[in-house]
Amino acid sequence: MSARFATPITFTGPWRSPAQMLDAQEYDGHASVHDEATAATLGLRGAPIEGPTHFSQFDPLAVARWGDAWFERGCISSHFLEMVVAGEQVQATLTTGDEPDLARIDARKPDGTAVLTGTASIGPEHPTTELDRRLASLREPGELFIVDRLHVGMAGPAGETAVVTHDDHNGDLYPFSLAQKLDRITEPHPWYTLEGGASSPWGRAVVPFEMISVLAMKAPSTFPVRGPSIGLFVDLEVRLLAGPVFVGHTYELRRRIVGLGQSRRTESSWIETLVVDPGTDVTVARVLLHSGVFKASYANYPPERLAT
């Protein structure tokens, strides 16, 4: 049981400059929004850094609050507000509240622009998270033209597996290795490395929080989204249930659609991925991704339905 503070306490991290590592990302045979030229075609001011990169800045704050249990039962639940491009600085804060197992998280730029907001929590019984609340408040999406072939409850293929090793490239969606990520991660930790992991409480290297979503999504989705089209992360939650997630360990991935939506510029889907240890059938982690697809990036989108 976490101790209850009498008054809110804010843990504040240092200013960091997260690195862009998806400039070479490809899917469906084309570059992604993280490519400068592609971002420009969508009217963006630059190529956004991948959202999960910011999760590392919260890890020291969460460990200061809950200790090493963070790597076993921690949860980051984030709504992304503003993109960050290479060279920009970001500062993370974690603020306690009335619930001892729940805190608010925020990240901002030096001019005060909010980058993301959400919750951090500790299990095993996680309180209501930012994405729990957002998913529960979904309205009927109306007529859809890009994610129209999806439906809530649709499941991904059985038997899909994934592993994050230290040196292997993680594919076209994540064109870097864990070793390359650790060279540029904002908050390095010895337990992420093969050498330092041997001295961790679990005797093995652990996958950083920001790389758990890479494990869950390193294989392209097989859900039938119309394209070519270009997407981005709107919301992301990484929830550990029986962690840590270990480097070099193969996990089974069980996916399903849990929500659909749209905004003025995007259509979107909510995909839940359970990360399961195939040897024990224990669900180690749950990754919830709300991914939007730019309407204007799909050539067959009805022009009268595009935002002006």
- Which one of 3.10.129.10, 3.40.50.2300, 3.50.50.60, 3.40.50.12160 gives the CATH number of domain 10-305? 3.10.129.10
* Burial class, 45, CB count within 10 angstroms (exposed 0-12 / middle 13-18 / buried 19+): exposed
Shortest CA distance to 229 belongs to which of 294, 304, 150? 294
Residues 307, 265: Cα–Cα separation, whole Å: 6
Residues 116, 129: Cα–Cα separation, whole Å: 14
CA 114 vs CA 58, 79, 80: distances in Å: 15, 11, 9
Q: Helices marked H in 246-304 — which ranges?
A: none
Contact criterion met (CB below 8 Å) for 20 and 86 = yes
> Does the global pTM surpass 0.85?
yes
Q: Helices marked H in 50-193 — which ranges?
A: 59-66, 70-73, 130-136, 178-184
CA 24 vs CA 37, 113, 165, 174, 203: distances in Å: 12, 27, 20, 8, 34
Neighbouring residues of 19: CB distance < 8 A, sequence distance ≥ 6? 49, 53, 86, 184, 186
pLDDT level of residue 23 (50, 70, 90 thresholds) = low
CA dihedral 38, 44, 49, 50 (to 10 degrees): -80
**Domain extents in the chain:** 10-305
Q: How confident is the model over 222-270, as pLDDT tens digits?
A: 899 998 888 888 999 999 999 999 999 999 999 999 999 999 999 999 9
Q: State which amino acid sits at residue 257.
A: I
| Highest mean pLDDT (candidates 39-43, 109-113, 169-173, 174-178) | 109-113
